[in-house]
C-alpha cells in the first residue's frame, strides 16, 4: 500500500525538515493550543480572584467605618434648631451647664456622695479641683458618719454675667440639710457659679469648667 500526498504537502514538509524543525501532527498542535488556552484561563481566574478579594476587603472596611460609633457632641435640653459655631457657647447653654452642675453637686445622700464628688470633679478647673480634693476625705467621712443629706432646688431663672472670658451664673433656690430624716436647716440661697472656657471633650462637650462657687443667703425671701 502506498501513501500519496499532493505536491504542495511534500514541498511544505521539505521546507520544515530543511529548517531543522520537527514535523508536528494536527493532534499535537491541538493539545499545545489547548494547553495555552488553559494557562490563559488559569491566569484569568487568578486575576478575577484577586479582584474579588480586593473588593471584599474594601467592602468590609467601608462597612466597618460606616457602622463604627463616633463621638457626638450635643447640648442636652435643646428645643430649637440652629447653627453651631466652633469655640462659641450660646448663653442658654452656659446657664444650662451651670444649673446642671450645681444640681448634681448640691443633691446627695450618704450613699451617693462619693459618686457626686467623682462626677462633679470632672467639670472643675484645676485650682478648684485641688481645693476640693484637699478637704474631700474629711467631708465625705462627716457625711457618712452623721448621715447627712442635701437637697437643692432652683426657684428662679439663672442670670448670666460675662467678664473677660469668664462667666458668672447666679442661681437662686432653696437648700435643705438633713441628718437622717431630721431636717437640720432649710434656707433660701443664691449661688454664684464661676465658669472658664476650656477645650471640648467627650465628657465635657460644653467646653466649660467650674472655677469657683460662692454661696449667699437671700434675705427676706418668700417662704
Q: Which three cell numbers stand for residue 103?
A: 444640681
Question: What is the band of 74 on the pLDDT scale with cuts at 50, 70, 90?
Answer: very low
Q: Does 65 share its domain with 154?
A: no
Q: Does 209 share its domain with 100?
A: yes
| Residues 153-195 pLDDT 10s | 999 999 999 887 789 999 999 999 999 889 899 999 999 999 9
| Residues 109-138 pLDDT 10s | 999 999 999 999 989 999 999 998 888 889
Domain of 56, in residue numbers = 26-70
Q: Does 63 share its domain with 171?
A: no
- Chain-wide mean pLDDT for the chain? 79
Helix, strand, coil shares of the chain as percentages rounded to 5? 45, 25, 30
The model scores a pTM over 0.85 = no
Q: Does 134 share its domain with 181?
A: yes
Counted residue by residue, the chain has a size of 223
The verdict on residue 164 lying in a domain is yes
Q: Which helix (H) or strand (E) holds 133?
A: helix 126-146
Residue 71: partners with Cβ closer than 8 Å, 6 or more residues away? 202
Query: Quick one: pLDDT at residue 26?
Result: 60
- Mean pLDDT for 11-17 is 48
Q: Does 112 share its domain with 55?
A: no
Q: Does 134 share its domain with 101?
A: yes
Q: Does 112 share its domain with 211?
A: yes
Q: Is the pLDDT of residue 223 over 70?
A: no
The percent of residues above 90 in pLDDT, for the chain, comes to: 38
- Mean pLDDT for 186-209 is 86
**Number of domains the chain is built from:** 2
Question: What is the band of 205 on the pLDDT scale with cuts at 50, 70, 90?
Answer: confident
Query: Quick one: pLDDT at residue 49?
Result: 84
Q: Would you say 105 and 151 are in contact if contact means Cβ atoms under 8 Å apart?
A: no
3-state secondary structure of 99: helix
Amino acid at each position: 500500500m502506498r501513501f500519496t500526498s499532493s505536491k504542495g504537502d511534500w514541498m511544505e514538509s521539505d521546507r520544515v525538515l530543511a529548517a531543522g524543525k520537527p514535523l508536528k501532527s494536527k493532534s499535537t498542535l491541538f493539545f499545545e493550543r489547548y494547553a495555552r488556552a488553559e494557562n490563559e484561563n488559569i491566569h484569568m481566574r487568578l486575576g478575577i480572584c484577586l479582584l474579588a478579594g480586593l473588593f471584599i476587603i474594601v467592602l468590609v472596611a467601608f462597612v466597618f467605618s460606616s457602622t463604627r460609633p463616633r463621638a457626638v457632641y450635643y447640648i442636652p435640653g435643646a428645643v430649637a434648631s440652629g447653627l453651631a459655631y466652633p469655640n462659641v457657647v450660646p448663653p442658654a447653654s452656659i446657664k444650662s451647664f451651670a444649673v446642671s452642675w450645681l444640681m448634681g453637686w448640691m443633691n446627695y445622700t450618704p450613699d451617693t456622695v462619693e459618686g457626686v464628688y467623682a462626677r462633679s470633679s470632672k467639670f472643675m478647673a484645676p485650682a478648684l479641683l485641688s481645693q476640693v480634693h484637699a478637704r474631700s476625705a474629711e467631708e465625705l467621712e462627716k457625711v457618712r458618719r452623721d448621715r447627712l443629706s442635701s437637697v437643692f432646688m432652683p426657684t428662679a431663672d439663672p442670670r448670666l454675667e460675662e467678664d473677660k472670658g469668664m462667666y458668672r451664673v447666679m442661681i437662686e433656690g432653696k437648700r435643705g440639710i438633713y441628718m437622717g430624716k431630721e431636717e437640720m436647716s432649710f434656707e433660701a440661697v443664691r449661688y454664684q457659679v464661676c465658669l472658664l472656657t476650656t477645650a471640648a471633650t467627650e465628657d465635657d462637650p460644653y467646653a466649660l469648667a467650674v472655677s469657683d462657687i460662692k454661696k449667699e443667703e437671700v434675705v427676706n425671701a418668700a417662704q
